[in-house]
Amino acid sequence: MGGSFESKVVIVTGAAGGMGRATAVAFGAAGAAVVVADVAAGAEETAELVRAAGGRAEAALVDVADAAQVDAMVAVATGTFGGLDAAVNAAAIEIEETALAECEEATFDRVIAVNLKGIFLTMRAEVRAMLALGRGGAIVNIGSTNSFRPQEHQCAYTASKHGVLGITRNAAIEYARHGIRINAISPGPIDTPMLRGAMARRGRDPLDVQQRLSLLGRFGEPEEIAKAALWLCSDDSSFTIGHALAVDGGYLAR
């Protein structure tokens, strides 16, 4: 899991549940001080879980599509905990139910605002803080297997996740010379409330989804994404830059 994060300060967005919560708790168990960020009130509950795991934590309510709120979130890391060493940007939504021709403009705009603009704003604020501190750092953006293989009725989500991959690689090129390593994770079918909600809205059988989207015939667990995120933020991955790590049960290999 990337070893110890004692004395490290980490931001995790989308941390009220699912992959974000598991990642925040894993950082806490590894000794980090964690800014637990989410638009949902569950962020404080996650912060309590981080503390119970042995880390320090501060909850921050933030809409990642709002630049002022994102800047305030990063200020919690630098002001309350005195720095910023790593960030995992996991905040995302998936709210579509139709093909492209029926997709409402407002739906498209909201998905892009959270999933792609949110990554831009959080990375921008995180990189600025890391540059000011002058000690490098690591950033991991949560993409999707949709970055490579789209699913039906997800035009906005797929577009956003393609964008996450592109902006990750571009930023990786720009900031590697400053000691800031930027990578992405492409999760497959991970057993989260977002996945369960998407299946329910579409009337999908979870067993069928497991068989179609995983060579292992099961959903991944949020903790499996957390382990990958901690590795990418650790010195164990010191030569890994601009990479999209698939944690997908073999889906992309099929």
* Cα–Cα dist 143/165, whole Å: 7
Query: Is the dihedral angle over the CA atoms 96, 97, 100, 105 positive or is it negative?
Result: negative
Whether the predicted pLDDT of 2 surpasses 70: no
Measuring CA to CA, which residue among 52, 21, 2, 7 is closest to residue 142?
Answer: 21
Show the beta-strand stretches assigned E in 152-212.
180-187
Measuring CA to CA, which residue among 161, 184, 162, 163 is closest to residue 172?
Answer: 184
Which positions are catalytic?
157
Count of Cβ atoms closer than 10 Å to residue 31 Cβ: 16
- pTM of the complete model: 0.95
| Whether 49 contacts 16, CB under 8 Å | no
Q: What is the mean pLDDT of residues 118-143?
A: 98
Q: What is the mean pLDDT of residues 11-38?
A: 98
pLDDT per residue over 77-118, tens digit each?
Answer: 999 999 999 999 999 999 988 999 999 999 999 999 999 999
| Whether 130 contacts 136, CB under 8 Å | yes
| Whether 236 contacts 3, CB under 8 Å | yes
Spell out the domains of the chain, with CATH numbers in brackets.
9-253 (3.40.50.720)
Tokens of 188: 């497959």
Count of Cβ atoms closer than 10 Å to residue 200 Cβ: 10
Whether the predicted pLDDT of 1 surpasses 50: no
The torsion defined by the Cα of 170, 174, 179 and 183, in degrees rounded to 10, comes to: 0
